[in-house]
Amino acid sequence: MHRCIISITAYLSITAYLLFTPALARGGETAEPSAAEAEVEAGSNGSSGVAGWFRIDTDSLGTQFWVGAAHPVGSITLASDVFLLGSWGELDIGPSFALGKALLTPMVGLGFDFAATDFTTLIGHFYTIYDADKIYFESWIQLFMNSPFADGAEDVLYTRDFLLYKLSDMVHVGPQVEVSYGVTEAEDVLSLPIGGRVNLVYGPRHTLGLFLGYETEAPEGADGIAGRFTFIQTW
């Protein structure tokens, strides 16, 4: 069952990429400008053209703070962000490609533990976002390479996928699945929460998200409740 769910999750990510990208690359009308288009518009109005965002997540890991931006550099857009969790920090950077209503962002990151004063992980990311009139799809694929920094450390492949239907401009709902898979020592599913997500969109700049689901890999005797609160502000 686990391998089936992982295969379905990977299939959703790859299918979204293959189906959405060719059509979007041909152009067409969009309901609202993409992130890269907004940056170009900002630059033409005399501003720096840098689009930024701030994000807070609270889940089983604790409270995490993110801040990032998309920088026009010549003919490309360069995305960067900083992720903070306790004494652990991560810096990510990579190009961002806007194709109509889709946004594709491959990134590479490096994690540092300020308490231990040592690097802990190298991270590869691939983010896919598709934002249409009635549908919003988001996919994360992340590989945390910990073993080069500590003997016996587990490398982990993590995916997060959710597909939302826009009931209104403010309320978006749909399913979400996340998978953490140990690729070196465990070679097995470490975490697999499945559930539903609600996004409350307060105008064009603020989003409050709630994910609530069941952790299929919860220890025996645990209630298995999994979830996350998310707040995002953009500018």
Tell me the per-residue pLDDT of 122-173, one tens digit each, with 9 for 90 and over.
999 999 999 999 999 999 999 999 999 999 899 999 999 999 999 999 999 9
Phi, psi for 19 (deg, rounded to 5): -80, -45
Q: Which of 12-16, 49-53, 216-220, 230-234: highest mean pLDDT?
A: 230-234
Task: With CA atoms as reference, report the closest residue to 129 among 107, 108, 101, 109.
Answer: 101
183 with 156: CB under 8 angstroms?
yes
Domains in the chain: ranges and CATH = 2-234 (2.40.160.40)
Positive/negative CA dihedral, 87, 190, 181, 195: negative
Q: What is the pLDDT of residue 47?
A: 52
Q: What pLDDT sits at residue 43?
A: 42
| Lowest mean per-residue pLDDT among 39-48, 92-101, 187-196 | 39-48
32 pLDDT band, cuts 50/70/90, is very low
Mean pLDDT, residues 53-73: 96
Distance (Å, whole) CA 208 – CA 196: 14
